[in-house]
Amino acid sequence: MVDDMPELRPVPIEEILEQHKVRYILRTCAHGDIVLKHITKRMKGHLDVIRAYRYPKAAELDAEASIVYPIAMAEGADSEAIERANAIAAELAPTMDIYALGCIEFPFLTTSDDLDAFWEALEPVEQEAMRQMLIVLTAWDRAVDYSYLEICERFHVEVVDRDLIRSMTYEQYLALHSVVVQEHEATRKLYSDMGVRM
């Protein structure tokens, strides 16, 4: 529920940079131990297309959520905004189930039919736990604290290696791409201030 959300704090970039190595275990009656991972950039792109096809209204709800959620989570938010945010969250929840295909490493699921059978076999409490895990494993729009990167740059410590690039999660991609874009904009501004066109 939105009114139970803790105060939001920036996520340290060093935590995000470890995502591709981390696995989670969710113990269930029907499937035994489910092995979960953060969604990758490549898989999220594929599943976004499937989600848009299966749930045509999802894009409209996503857009509304991007406006309503910050209002509902603000201090002193009115009950109407909170109620609407909860209604949107309830409508969006089933559309997010498709992302389980990108987050479950074991058991191996490949089709929508596999996924439907997977969800049906879970107990209601396990379905809720799985949905809570998907929220964590598909998160991508959190505020990020980049101070670790600044320290590593100052002391010449390499933080991005080939393994990370090959296995990049969606949130890792967005966080690192943001750094590249900011550096590019800073360079562009510097040249512009010097009167050089780019």
pLDDT for res 191: 75
DSSP 197: -
Q: In this structure, are residues 90 and 96 in contact, taking their beta carbons and an 8 Å threshold?
A: no
pTM of the prediction? 0.79
Distance in angstroms (rounded) separating the CA atoms of residues 104 and 31? 12
Residue that the structure tokens 């489910």 belong to? 34
> Residue 32: enclosing H or E segment and its boundaries?
strand 32-36
Beta-bridged to residue 25, according to DSSP, are 35
DSSP assignments along 149-174, one per residue: HHHHHHTT-----HHHHHT-BHHHHH
Distance in angstroms (rounded) separating the CA atoms of residues 115 and 117? 5
**Other Cβ atoms closer than 10 A to 61:** 17
pLDDT for res 8: 56
pLDDT for res 190: 78
pLDDT in tens, 135-180: 889 887 778 888 998 899 889 999 889 999 999 999 999 999 988 8
pLDDT along the chain (198 residues), means of 10: 54 91 95 95 92 92 88 83 90 90 93 91 93 88 86 90 91 90 81 75
